[in-house]
Chain A
Amino acid sequence: MPIWLQRQKYLIDFTLSSLLRRRAKNAGLLLVYTLIVFVLASVMLFTHALRHEAVHVLAEAPEIVLQRMVAGRHDLVPASYLDRIGEVRGVQKKAGRLWGYFYDPAVRANYTLMVPPTDAPASGEAVIGAGIARARGLSVGDFVTWRGSDGQPHTLRIVRLLDSDSELVSSDLVLVSEDFFRGFFGVPPGRFTDLALSVRNPREVRKVAEKLTLLLPDARPILREEILRTYDAIFAWRQGVVYVLLVGAVLAFVVFAWDKASGLSAEERREIGILKAVGWETGDVIRMKFWEGALVSLTAFLLGYVAAYVHVFFASAALFEPVLKGWAVLYPHFQLTPTIDGLQLATLFFFTVFPYTVATIVPIWRAAITDPDTVMR
């Protein structure tokens, strides 16, 4: 083994013995340090994976959704708008969408009722999301009856369940026929919830949206890029909110670690004095203390990060679930695809490992350059 490595190994050996002499104090520090890294890394991994999933899945959302606003509120769109949109150059496909919400008092949950543009179920039949099937205990062949806007009961037969793999987007969906939808909600023929448009040239989407607002002043276009930006912002925001809530805990740890790392105890001072008296050089003492800081912070970082990875991707982020669920009865069951953002991880590494290691070196350097006799007294 090269002499340099041999030397570092002896220094580590000495550092470990020194750490073990103050076993309880250092074990406490390692535990708190690991917990802080664990919580921060869990939030980071969870939000990044969720954002990644949202961006991938919603990349197929309609390019433009056109809503009609009446007195500042979302209103039904007349079918005549489709003809008027036909005059706008660049619009490739246009279709009216029929969807709405239904509050089911039986499970106290909101469903999203929707008419699929193609392959709609027959009248009186429905395809439901896995979340509804779970909440109501429904399976294929079962019947479900809800009270419509006319006060009459409307019965649906479940003909299929949507794939549970796509629960993140389909948990609360009920797909029905156009006849059923209009009859159930009392939506008159020739009216749609909103319009979905696709544009021939993706670079013209914004221009087309501008033309639509001129042509239909009461319409509000929502672009796909805005939808994606919304989700990107939501998860960044949530991550930020959790971090803000954690600031208190992190600051407490910083004070604790700083005090531990930078304030030398009388025992440590004496130890340095003895080391210098028996012939250790200042460089050796600093190196030894560098190893002390590095070993504690690196071990805490690795332990915290690996535990966070297991928590988020193997235990489905069990600690965050209650916060994310809110009051939603139909919370989707989903397994996140593990994705790691190298830059975020490097940032976490820099802000957790680096400050502690530096904080251990500075006071040692000050103590190590003073006379051993003075230090020991």
Chain B
Amino acid sequence: MCKTDRFLWLFGALTLAAALTFAHSGLRAHDASPRLAASAGLVRDLGLTDLALFTEARYTRHLSQADLHTAFQDHPLAFEHFPSGSLHVPPPHLRLRHADLAATTEVPD
């Protein structure tokens, strides 16, 4: 077998491995659907709102439920000191993540 053939075989094997990742991903996604459904069921039953990824502080554990000034809530001018806090998104008012719902309508209920 010449050099080119050997290389082409190796390259073909790599291409096949890359293609197999798609097949594997599809199969695993199918297998994982009961697990995802069970987690989603737990979220529905318990009314959970956040992932348990960063449990070091209350405002990193429930990111979506934290105060609007989470990082500075321990005392005025307190610096954020948790590693995950330094990695997550900037304050909401800078990114307009929260909809401004205060007094935007006159409609009485």
Contact = CB atoms under 8 A, between A and B. Distances in A.
Interface stretch (A153-161, A277-285, A326-334, A360-368): A326-334
Given A213-B102, A229-B97, A238 B54 contact: no
B47 A62 contact: yes
Contacts of B95: 233
Interface in B14-47: 14-15, 17-18, 21-22, 24-25, 28-29, 32, 35-36, 38-47
Given A58-B49, A65-B49, A306-B14, A234 B39 contact: no
The residue among B46, B50, B54 with the most chain A CB atoms within 10 A of its own CB is: B46
A332 B52 contact: yes
A246 interface: no
Nearest to B11: A299
A194 B65 CA distance: 10
B109 A337 contact: no
Contact of B101 (A72, A221, A230): A221
A276 to B, nearest CB: 23
A74 interface: yes
Nearest to A233: B89
A13 B49 CA distance: 59
A98 B53 CA distance: 21
Contacts of B64: 222, 226-227, 230-231
Interface string A81-117: 0000001110000010100010000000110101011
A337 B42 contact: no
A171 interface: yes
B7 A16 contact: yes
Given A67-B65, A233-B89, A327-B83, A337 B36 contact: yes
B11 A215 contact: no
B77 interface: no
Contact of A110 (B29, B46, B57): B57
B3 interface: yes
B88 interface: yes
A372 to B, nearest CB: 26
A344 interface: no
A329 B83 CA distance: 13
A167 interface: yes
B35, B62, B107 interface centre (most CB from chain A within 10 Å):
B35
Contacts of B73: 73
Nearest to A117: B47
B109 A97 contact: no
A87 B109 CA distance: 8
A26 interface: no
Which interface class (under 10, 10 to 19, 20 to 34, 35 or more) fits A? 35 or more
Contacts of B44: 60
Nearest to B14: A302
B39 A327 contact: no
Given A117-B46, A306-B17, A222 B65 contact: yes
A205 B105 CA distance: 14
Contact of B43 (A61, A171, A238, A337): A61
Given A206-B99, A227-B64, A229-B97, A340 B47 contact: no
B53 A337 contact: no
Interface in A126-177: 129, 131, 162-163, 165-173, 175
Nearest to A193: B65
B54 A116 contact: no
A313 B28 contact: yes
A209 interface: yes
A221 B104 CA distance: 14
A274 to B, nearest CB: 20
A285 to B, nearest CB: 18
B42 A166 contact: yes
A56 B101 contact: no
14 contacts: A13-B2, A16-B3, A72-B67, A88-B109, A101-B58, A131-B55, A166-B38, A170-B42, A227-B64, A233-B97, A234-B63, A237-B87, A303-B14, A332-B53
User: Which 6 residue pairs spanning A and B have beta carbons closest together?
Assistant: A60-B44, A338-B25, A337-B32, A326-B83, A171-B52, A302-B14
Given A74-B67, A166-B38, 4 more contacts: A58-B51, A101-B61, A170-B48, A324-B53
